[in-house]
Structure 1
Amino acid sequence: MLKRLLTLLGGTALLLLSLSRLPLSGYSPSTALPSGTLSLSGVRAAVIVVGLSLQCSMHADGKGCFNFNCRGFIQTNRQHIATAILHPVSQYLGPQFAVTVEIIRDATGKWWVRRQGQDIGYWPRELVPALDGGAQWIAFGGEVVWDGEGRPHTATDMGSGRYPGGGFRKAAFFKNVVVLNPQLVYEYPKDVVVSANHEECYDLKIGGTNDRAWGYFFFYGGPGRTDRCT
């Protein structure tokens, strides 16, 4: 879904995925490798990515890295680490769990990652100089990538593995999605471009833009290969 958007827009970006401040639900997806990989190869962009992932890698013109596979991200929290496994996870028709994630740029240019209101660590300003003026755009959602041209679609789940039309306790979700503007005020996203390819495999549904409890929220995901997704 989002790779197409990223390729079209280029530039500098903050990319928030389930694979700003927003609680996103966590499910334990099934996968059919080598799918489940996020690849940004060849994209001319300065990109910061935060979220939940399964078998993810990130490469941008040969210079990108994921988690601690290369030097760059500075871990500052001794109790909560960037590579922590999410637990417990949401259950279909059962208990639902969400994690709040933020990306915040401080006055010195450091890009901080916060989870559940606690600083986890930061990317130094020197690592992403193209983001000195802030991000040109922000993307959030889910993505499954596979290189199966001419072969059956991957059976990898996105989110809960259920289509978004099922709603709460069935589909995965993002809620209370906000953006920190230049005046350091949180606001709901504006001029949102909804992008979903292969809707028969994975889709999304905007639930509301200013709900009293959930703010700006949406449901997303799908099962991958089925009778309708081949």
Structure 2
Amino acid sequence: MGKRNDEVVMVLAMVGLVVGVAIVNVNATNVEMNLSLLQIENKLKLLNKPSIKTIYSEDGDIMECVDVYKQPAFDHPLLKNHTIQMKPDLSIDLKMSSTQNESFGSRLYPFQTWQKSGSCPKGTIPIRRVGREDLLRANSLHHFGKKFPYGDSKLGQEFNRSTAILITTGVNYIGASGNINVWNPKVDLPNDFTASKVWLKNGPSEKFESVEAGWMVNPKLYGDAKTRLSLYWTVDSYKTTGCFDLTCSGFVQTNPSVAIGAVIEPLSSTNGQQYTISIGIFQDPHSGNWWLKFQGNPVGYWPSTLFGYLDHSATLVEWGGEVFSSNIKIVPHTGTGMGSGDYASGLYEYASFVKEPRIVDYSLQLKYPDRVGTWADEPSCYSVDNYQQSYTTEPVFYFGGPGLSRDCH
């Protein structure tokens, strides 16, 4: 009888131990879950500043009109005592605007969908609200709104990125612009994105600095496959610094009428109407800030204090497209398209293009670059053609492609 009681006690003790371990594990899981939820809520508070007005767009976006002095930019340690430059230097602004207006007197411009639902009052800027579901789609809270490093920059190997670009290099550029037609290419894999934009860069390949803007389709970031106005910056080749749009501190917005990250419409169509956006990035000669212009209007700027190499000028300008995917330069290739999704050889009404690519040097004049070249990482997947119809006309840069296809494996 005593032996049986001992066995019962032992069994009960073992059960208690198992139950105790289970309770500890459950508690540990609960602590971890609560910690994650707390981190998500803290991140949302950091990103979504208190607003003066809320606008519900028909495309599902929610725009918050935030006091211009309380925007996310000023969370950056280098901008704690920053004085906002409300508009760029007048002389360079007038030169750039007049040239663009003359060139585009008869062009059809897209607009942003949210603008049909309201406007932000003076002294505020529209910021797309970030939701909990946006953060949960990210690989981690740290990587939300960021590109992944493109490979081994020291060896010049970019494993996850494919570009098709027009490029100029060799002198000091303090600005660049271009007019890009707007499409909605297919995005194949969950982490893929595709973009068409203008880049200005400076610095060594392993730690280059870049400011860039254009349109993008990025379901991972935005939760849909719509075409949106997008910008990015980095000071270390995308390793740790910078982000898309306003998802981190850095870019200072001043324009109450443009929402970065908002949907653009209408879109260009094959063998049909072409809609273009005008993107300009230039450095204010007095403050050194890099100003972004959209459709000829200043939107805001990247403060010069963020940069080292780019604090005085850029040495490299690129126009064109990029696709990011883990299935780049391997078999099978991603089916994410670039530009219109058609090859450059399709030309007007079929391929994506950049018209009037311009640079600004110390003459403070917009002009076609003295020397340009083209580059495609994967010509069978995404091609390029700086097509000149005649000796008396300026070239138009065509680019793009479908990704995975008969020619791209």
Check whether TM > 0.5.
yes
* In 2: Cα distance, 1:121 partner to 1:197 partner: 32
Q: What is the aligned partner in structure 1 of residue 214 from structure 2?
A: 51
Q: Is the Cα contact below 8 Å between 2:194 and 2:321 reproduced in 1?
A: no
**Larger helix proportion, structure 1 or 2?**
2
SS in 2 for 1:136: strand
Query: How many residues were matched structurally?
Result: 215
Q: Where do 1:111-190 residues align within 5 Å?
A: 111-148=290-327, 150-190=330-370
* In 2: Cα distance, 1:72 partner to 1:172 partner: 30
TM-score (norm 1): 0.84
SS in 1 for 2:256: coil
Deviation at 1:110, TM superposition (A): 1.0
2:272 paired residue among 81, 84, 94: 94
Deviation at 1:37, TM superposition (A): 6.2
Q: What is the aligned partner in structure 2 of residue 62 from structure 1?
A: 240
SS in 2 for 1:155: coil
* In 1: Cα distance, 2:346 partner to 2:389 partner: 18
Stretches of structure 2 that go unaligned for 5 or more consecutive residues are: 1-149, 157-164, 166-175, 196-204, 222-231
Q: Which has the higher contact order (CA 8 A, sep 6+)?
A: 1
* In 2: Cα distance, 1:143 partner to 1:21 partner: 17
Across the aligned residues of Structure 1 and Structure 2, the Cα RMSD in angstroms comes to 2.8
Deviation at 1:216, TM superposition (A): 4.2
Q: Is the Cα contact below 8 Å between 1:26 and 1:99 reproduced in 2?
A: yes
* In 2: Cα distance, 1:95 partner to 1:37 partner: 22
Cα 1:191–1:70 change in 2 (3 A) is same
Q: In the alignment, is residue 204 of structure 1 matched against residue 367 of structure 2?
A: no
Q: What is the aligned partner in structure 1 of residue 407 from structure 2?
A: 228
Q: In the alignment, is residue 26 of structure 1 matched against residue 182 of structure 2?
A: yes
Q: What is the aligned partner in structure 2 of residue 35 from structure 1?
A: 192
Deviation at 1:190, TM superposition (A): 2.7
Report runs of 4+ in structure 1 exceeding 4 Å deviation: 56-59, 209-213
**Percent identity over the alignment?**
30
* In 2: Cα distance, 1:133 partner to 1:210 partner: 37
Once the two structures are superposed, residues 18-50 of structure 1 have per-residue CA deviations (whole angstroms, 9 ceiling, x without a partner) of: xx1211010011111222268xxx841111111
Stretches of structure 1 that go unaligned for 5 or more consecutive residues are: 9-16
* In 1: Cα distance, 2:279 partner to 2:371 partner: 22
Which is higher, the Rg of structure 1 or of structure 2?
2
TM-score (norm 2): 0.48
Deviation at 1:168, TM superposition (A): 0.5
* In 2: Cα distance, 1:205 partner to 1:53 partner: 21
SS in 2 for 1:178: strand
Q: Tell me which amino acid in the other structure corresponds to 1:36.
A: F
